[in-house]
Amino acid sequence: MDFDIRDRITKVAQARLGDFESHPLNPKFHPDEQRQLVGSLMREIGWVGALLAWKSERAGGKWVCLDAHLRKDLAPDFEGWVLYTDLTDAEADLMVALYDESGRLAQIEPDKLKALQERIEESELVIDQPLFRSALEKMKLRGLENEPNGADAPVEFTEYDGGIETENTCPSCGYEW
C-alpha cells in the first residue's frame, strides 16, 4: 500500500490493567470457552501483548481500553504494557467495531495449521488440551470454508438428486455445511 501512515501511539508504558475503563459500546462479549482459553494461554505463556487505549472526552478524560478487554478483565491487577494513543472518541469507536473483525477476515491454510499444531503438540508446553483442540478445530473448519468447491464429480455421480439432504450442522461447534 502506498500511502502515508500516521503513528497514533504517543506513549508506551506499563500500567495496572484494571485502571482502564472498558468501552461501553464494545459489541464483543467473551464466552466461557474463550475466557478459559485466553486464561490458559496467559498462565502458560504470560503477557505478550499490549492493551490499546485512548483518552476519551466522552468518558471525562479517562483512559479507555480499545483492545485487550478480556485480558484486562482476567488480570485487572497485572501491570502490563499499554499503547497510549491520540485517537478521538469517533476514531476509537470505529476501531472497537472493526479492529478484531479485520483479523477474522484472514483465511486459514489447513496444511500450515496442521504443521503448526503438530509442532505445538511436540513441544513441552502444558496447556489445557481440550480448549486447545477445540480452538484448533474451529480454525480447521474456517480453513475448510476457504477451500474451493470446484472439484468435478466422479463419473458414477453424474446425476444429482435434489432430495438428498445437503445442509448439516455440527452439534459441537455449530459449523454448517
Whether residues 116 and 139 share a domain: the answer is yes
> In this structure, are 29 and 61 located in the same domain?
yes
pLDDT computed for residue 105 by the predictor: 77
pLDDT band at 100 (very low <50, low <70, confident <90, very high): confident
pLDDT band at 170 (very low <50, low <70, confident <90, very high): low
Cα–Cα dist 34/29, whole Å: 10
Does any domain span residue 164? no
Domain count, the chain: 2
**Domain region containing 116:** 110-145
Residue 176 lies in a domain: no
CA 163 to chain centre: 38
Q: How many degrees, rounded to 5, is the angle at CA 66 between CA 78 and CA 18?
A: 25
Q: Does 114 share its domain with 75?
A: no
Query: Would you state the pLDDT for residue 16?
Result: 96
Q: How far is the C-alpha of 76 from the C-alpha of 70, rounded, in Å?
A: 10
76 with 133, same domain: the answer is no
Statement: residue 150 has pLDDT above 50: no
3-state DSSP helix/strand/coil % of the chain, to nearest 5: 40, 20, 40
What's the mean per-residue pLDDT of the chain?
81
Residues 137, 74 share a domain: no
Q: Write the pLDDT tens digit of every residue in 54-64.
A: 999 999 999 99
Are residue 115 and residue 55 in the same domain, yes or no? Answer: no
CATH code for position 52 = 3.90.1530
Last residue of a domain, which of 55, 79, 104? 104
Tell me how crowded residue 110 is: count the other CB atoms within 10 A of its CB: 15
Q: Buried b / exposed e across 17-30, counting CB within 10 Å, b at 16+? A: beebeebeebeeee
Tell me the CA distances in angstroms from 59 to 22, 51, 62, 154, 177, one per residue in order.
10, 18, 6, 63, 44
